[in-house]
């Protein structure tokens, strides 16, 4: 017999857990952020998390990366802070434009495909690690492999929704 405890978790439930973990992580980090530096938002998408970040971190500069701009018109960064292109290229070469290392990198590039996410992890992890300030945080929808970072404890929503939080040591 399938009970509430044994049945499979539906994609809707994974999505809700993911959004809950994402919001919780970003708010926890915003409250704890104690290093200077900008925020890097990897994946503008609809602009929902960009809009949330600028609401909870009004004094931080936020640079947003995406290969194209498809966001809601109310959630598009100004031209100085929107970095358009393939993140593999733009993140590697954004230093002169972004300036200081990031206090927070939010990586929302997960595809939901485990193989594609493994490929992304391989090229993305060193790029994110290099652009993060010591003491800075990374919240990510892809599990990353960054030797100089501590993986922080995850809630049940983060486990179920596949969201990770790291801090650079």
Q: Between 46 and 122, whose beta carbon lies closer to ligand SAM?
A: 46
129/102 Cα distance (integer angstroms) = 10
Q: Between 70 and 122, whose beta carbon lies closer to ligand SAM?
A: 70
Q: Between 2 and 68, whose beta carbon lies closer to ligand SAM?
A: 68
Instruction: List residues near ligand SAM by CB under 6 A.
Output: 43-49, 66-68, 70, 86-88, 108-109
Q: Between 33 and 71, whose beta carbon lies closer to ligand SAM?
A: 71
Considering the complex, what minimum distance in angstroms separates the CB of residue 6 from ligand SAM? Answer: 30
41/105 Cα distance (integer angstroms) = 6
Considering the complex, what minimum distance in angstroms separates the CB of residue 9 from ligand SAM? Answer: 20
> Residue 128, exposed/middle/buried by CB under 10 A (0-12, 13-18, 19+)?
buried
Which residue's structure tokens are 């915003």?
30
Using CB atoms, what's the residue nearest to ligand SAM?
45
The answer to whether 50 and 116 are in contact (CB under 8 A) is: no
The answer to whether 49 and 41 are in contact (CB under 8 A) is: yes
Q: Between 58 and 153, whose beta carbon lies closer to ligand SAM?
A: 58
Considering the complex, what minimum distance in angstroms separates the CB of residue 94 from ligand SAM? Answer: 12
**Total number of residues shown for the chain:** 169
Helix 48-56 vs helix 11-32: crossing angle, to nearest 10? 30
Considering the complex, what minimum distance in angstroms separates the CB of residue 160 from ligand SAM? Answer: 18
Considering the complex, what minimum distance in angstroms separates the CB of residue 55 from ligand SAM? Answer: 13
């Amino acid at each position: 017999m399938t009970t509430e405890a044994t049945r499979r978790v539906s994609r809707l439930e994974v999505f809700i857990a993911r959004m809950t973990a994402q919001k919780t992580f970003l708010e926890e980090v915003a409250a704890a952020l104690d290093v200077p530096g900008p925020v890097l938002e990897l994946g503008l998408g609809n602009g929902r998390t960009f809009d949330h970040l600028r609401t909870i971190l009004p004094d931080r500069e936020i640079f947003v990366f995406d290969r194209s701009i498809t966001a809601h018109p109310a959630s598009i960064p100004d031209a100085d802070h929107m970095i358009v292109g393939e993140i593999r290229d733009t993140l590697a070469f954004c230093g002169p434009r972004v300036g200081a290392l990031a206090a927070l990198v939010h990586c929302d590039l997960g595809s939901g495909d485990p193989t594609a996410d493994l490929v992304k992890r391989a090229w993305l992890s060193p790029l994110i690690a290099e652009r993060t300030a010591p003491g800075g945080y990374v919240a990510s929808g892809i599990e990353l492999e960054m030797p100089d970072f501590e993986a922080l404890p995850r809630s049940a929503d983060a486990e179920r929704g596949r969201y990770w939080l790291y801090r650079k040591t």
